[in-house]
Copies of this chain bind each other. A is one copy, B any other.
Amino acid sequence: MKLPSFASIKEVGPRDGLQNEKKIVGTKDKVKWIHMLADAGLSYIEVSSFVHPKWIPALADAQNVFAALERKPHVTYAALVPNQNGLERALLQDVDEVNVFLSASETHNKKNINKSIDEALSVIEEITKQSLFSGKKVRGYVSTVFGCPYEGEVNVYTVDELCNKLFSYGIYEVSLGDTIGVANPAQVERVLEHLLPKYDSSKFAMHFHNTYGMALANVVKSLECGVTTFDSSCGGLGGCPYAPGASGNVATNDLVHMLHKLGVQTNVNEEKLLQATKFIQSKLGTQIPSHVYRALQHKTVSR
């Protein structure tokens, strides 16, 4: 089994995790949690989203969260930016990186942000231009790469074309999202075997959801294909908006635990991550989907 010696984790819990939780976490607690995540060794944290507060009330305090952060050196504090107005707010807070997003499915894009894919691309092109001009790197999410809740299968040529455009705008990394958790390892291999001969593997991150329990199997196949960057959410927070009660983002805890078991380093301290998960659990009061969290919550991580 050919595995890399190191994998990068991009922690999306404070944004992608909290935006789907019913309970709104207070700004101070968010900031404390983000500090704990950084202390656990997570070097990339998506802090919030500068979307209009009426769309995602849970992240309405993006500005205040950034203002209150004590940023550690060598940690990237990123934010999701949906449009021009969001970019202005993000730049005012001097975010470290700008994240943009669109869907590989026309219907999902329309339902999610009320734009066609072409309209979304125009906005992204402009946001990227301005971000780069302001000295900010830009990362792009492409969602529903492995399936759409409305359209079903998504054509890999569409995904390829979107990646090509995003890279041409100057986006340094595309996160391939399995928004509804339907990807399986054979499909992951097919998609990556299509993309990797054209683009360097370092230009991709994989964003898996554990809706049907396949996220870690998909991570292993991605590693075997040569991709070494993964998005995940502390505790597995986030759920799935399309299936109430189902798992959402793959848990950072489960991802990091498996990577370490596989001999792949991450610089993440599992015990500190467990403490950060316990903290946010106490604020949300919800059940934490992470398997590792459930197995270890009653004991120390020493074994």
- A: which residues have CB within 8 A of B? 1, 3, 181-182, 184-187, 189, 210-217, 219-221, 240, 243-247, 251, 254, 257-258, 261-263, 290-292, 294-299
Contact present for A243 and B295 (CB under 8 Å) = yes
Contact present for A213 and B245 (CB under 8 Å) = no
CA gap between A3 and B295 in the complex, in Å: 31
- Whole-angstrom distance between the Cβ of A212 and the nearest chain B Cβ: 5
Which residues does chain B contribute within 8 Å of A298, judged by CB atoms? 243-245
A-B interface, 7 closest residue pairs, ranked by CB to CB distance from nearest: A213-B291, A246-B295, A184-B261, A217-B217, A213-B254, A243-B295, A216-B217
A and B contact pairs by CB, cutoff 8 A, 20 listed: A1-B186, A1-B221, A3-B186, A182-B261, A185-B262, A186-B263, A210-B213, A212-B258, A213-B258, A213-B291, A213-B292, A214-B254, A214-B258, A217-B217, A240-B295, A243-B295, A243-B296, A246-B294, A246-B295, A247-B294
- Whole-angstrom distance between the Cβ of A25 and the nearest chain B Cβ: 23
CA gap between A204 and B245 in the complex, in Å: 35
- Whole-angstrom distance between the Cβ of A185 and the nearest chain B Cβ: 5
Q: A182-B261, A213-B292 are in contact. List 20 more A-B contacts (CB 8 A).
A: A1-B189, A184-B258, A184-B261, A184-B262, A185-B220, A187-B261, A210-B213, A212-B254, A212-B295, A213-B213, A213-B251, A213-B290, A213-B291, A214-B216, A214-B261, A216-B216, A217-B258, A243-B296, A246-B294, A247-B291
- Whole-angstrom distance between the Cβ of A139 and the nearest chain B Cβ: 26
A215 and chain B: residue at smallest CB distance: B213
Which residues does chain B contribute within 8 Å of A294, judged by CB atoms? 243, 245-247
CA gap between A212 and B263 in the complex, in Å: 16
Which residues does chain B contribute within 8 Å of A189, judged by CB atoms? 1
CA gap between A187 and B258 in the complex, in Å: 11
Contact present for B184 and A295 (CB under 8 Å) = no
With most chain B CB atoms within 10 A of its CB, the pick from A216, A221, A294, A295 is A295
- Whole-angstrom distance between the Cβ of A152 and the nearest chain B Cβ: 8
Which residues does chain B contribute within 8 Å of A257, judged by CB atoms? 212-213
Find A246's partner among B211, B215, B263, B291 (CB 8 Å cutoff). B291
Which residues does chain B contribute within 8 Å of A297, judged by CB atoms? 245
Which residues does chain B contribute within 8 Å of A1, judged by CB atoms? 185-186, 189, 221
CA gap between A185 and B292 in the complex, in Å: 16
CA gap between A132 and B251 in the complex, in Å: 47
